[in-house]
Chains A and B, each alone.
Chain A
Amino acid sequence: MEFLWEGIKEAVNLWIHGDAEIIEITLRTLAISAVATLVALVIGVPAGAFLALKRFRGRSLIVATVNTGMGMPPVVVGLIVAVMLWRSGPLGGLNLIFTPTAMVIAQFIIAVPLVIGFSLASIQSVNPRLLDQIVALGANRVQMLWLMIREARLGLLAALMAGFGAVISEVGASMMVGGNIAGETRVLTTATVLETSRGNVEVALALGFMLLIMAYVVNLVVTSVQQQRRPT
């Protein structure tokens, strides 16, 4: 119990004094996970909409793949991305291993099935008669898609939160493709593991609380948008 108390004190202490390293790690964590989530949204929402609105041969196979991907172990994603990006790997020439970009790639792969899955479910659950109505009113494809996305935005914001929540809390892939390099690829989760193994339990707890608070604030902002009264 003493550890926990010391951890809270250490955390408060580090924040009050604005410990430069922790702030830097926190900003980096936020940046990497935000980019990965953003890219996953840009690709995942249209893909989810397509799967929700189109009927074609092999659709069930793709949907099943997406659903499987939603539970994909990050550590496996990390291993595969790392092996690809190692200097000895097929994409070694890109010099991406142990960079923030490599972490964004791995986190994107973790987030995108979640975003597709949530988008698919939320768009599919929009009243189909609305779709007919939109088409009857003469909307073109882009207008139709935009209206559907607006209609399904509760679910789409849930997709955002699920994707972001998955990647920001993930440690295995970040460790493998990022390497936990100080000042470059060290994020809150990998730093927590490191400080624990160094025996600096208080610092580890401080980092952990930082992660919790950050995840909470981000979700609070998104939730406040999501739960706003819909325009009538």
Chain B
Amino acid sequence: MRSRFLGIVGALAALGLLAACGGADDSELLLATTTSTDNSGLLDELVPIFEQRTGINVKVIAVGTGAALRMAEDGNADALLVHAPDAERALVENGDVFNRQLIAYNDFIVVGPAADPAGIAGERDVEAALSRIEATRSRFVSRGDDSGTHKKERALWQGAGLEPGGDWYEETGQGMGASLTIADQKNAYILSDRGTFLALSGSVDLVVISEGDPQMINLYSVMQVDPEKGRINDGAAAEWVAFLLEPETQDRIELFRREEFGRSLFIPTRGRHEAETIALFASGARLPAAGGG
């Protein structure tokens, strides 16, 4: 009896050693990012290449953009990869982050049930589309988590001069993937980044309702956290930013899952600045689709 009990204890202790072996590296990069980059799987592709080349161990923490920005303010991350330009600029001005570089873009889209209860399918003007959703009190799911997408959604409602609320408007407080699933189950409209929507298109029945409004551009930037905050791995963060800007990495971003979906989930900016990128998007030269889709 006793030996059997000791056997179990011994087995558990052996497993403990296993756990201890997964110890942390000295050269670690703590990257706070958004759920949209993580849910699409883009970082799963880029991070191993970076790790192999530099020997730096990247810890990807996928949170909403609001939480990621807060992590930078508190010095709880080394680098950020987020998509909330206005909030990012505020952080740059406060000196919380620096070396902010635009690396890629895609666009936001309004997706919803194919039945389209608000009758807005094909409406390019997103504010008009949202106004119709509000007027018809069609169900709308909001992230409600202060993420980049949620910030964008609030800005769009504000632009339309509306204050959404009521039983038709529901906040999930969850990531993009989870919120899309909820919207799908509830036959609701939702604002999504295109990358996550495409990545989930196999498991949800939602369809694209409104796209192409120039203000629907979704800009992804990388930046380093101010090393003055202490315990920041400055060198690794600088290497990470440089890595994302490399032509080779930009090619990888463009090709990422392109074959699968017939279009790029993320379009590399290849050194273009924000204004140029926005102009390019507004001109309609956006989202080059393979096979004209």
Contacts and interface: CB of A to CB of B under 8 A. Distances in A.
A199 interface: yes
B177 A198 contact: yes
Interface string B174-186: 1111101100000
Contacts of B20: 35, 100-101
B61 A32 contact: no
Nearest to B174: A197
Q: Which of B15, B176, B199: most chain A Cβ within 10 A? A: B15
Interface size class of A (residues with CB under 8 A): 35 or more
Nearest to A42: B9
A77 B272 CA distance: 45
A198 B20 CA distance: 30
A99 B22 CA distance: 9
A104 interface: yes
A89 to B, nearest CB: 9
A35 B15 CA distance: 7
A28 B22 CA distance: 9
A37 interface: yes
A87 B178 CA distance: 29
Contacts of A28: 18-19, 22
Contact of A199 (B30, B44, B181, B230): B181
Q: Tell me the dominant secondary structure on chain A's binding face.
A: helix
Interface stretch (A68-76, A131-139, A221-229): A221-229
A104 B19 CA distance: 9
A87 B76 contact: yes
A94 B255 CA distance: 40
A87 B8 contact: no
Contacts of A201: 203
Nearest to B19: A31
B59 A179 contact: yes
A85 B181 CA distance: 33
Contacts of A35: 12, 15-16, 19-20
Nearest to A197: B177
Nearest to B22: A100
A231 B2 CA distance: 11
Interface stretch (A55-63, A109-117, A165-173, A180-188): A180-188
Contact of B231 (A92, A98, A179): A92
A152 to B, nearest CB: 13
A149 to B, nearest CB: 10
Interface string B241-263: 00000000000000000000000
Interface of A: 27-28, 30-32, 34-35, 37-38, 86-88, 92-93, 95, 97-101, 104, 153, 179-182, 184, 196-201, 221-222, 225, 228, 231
8 contacts: A27-B15, A38-B9, A86-B76, A97-B76, A98-B61, A198-B199, A199-B177, A225-B8
* 5 tightest Cβ-Cβ pairs between the two chains A and B: A197-B177, A31-B19, A199-B200, A199-B203, A35-B16
Interface of B: 1, 4-5, 8-9, 12-13, 15-16, 18-20, 22-24, 30, 35, 39, 41, 44, 59-62, 74-76, 174-178, 180-181, 199-200, 202-204, 229-231
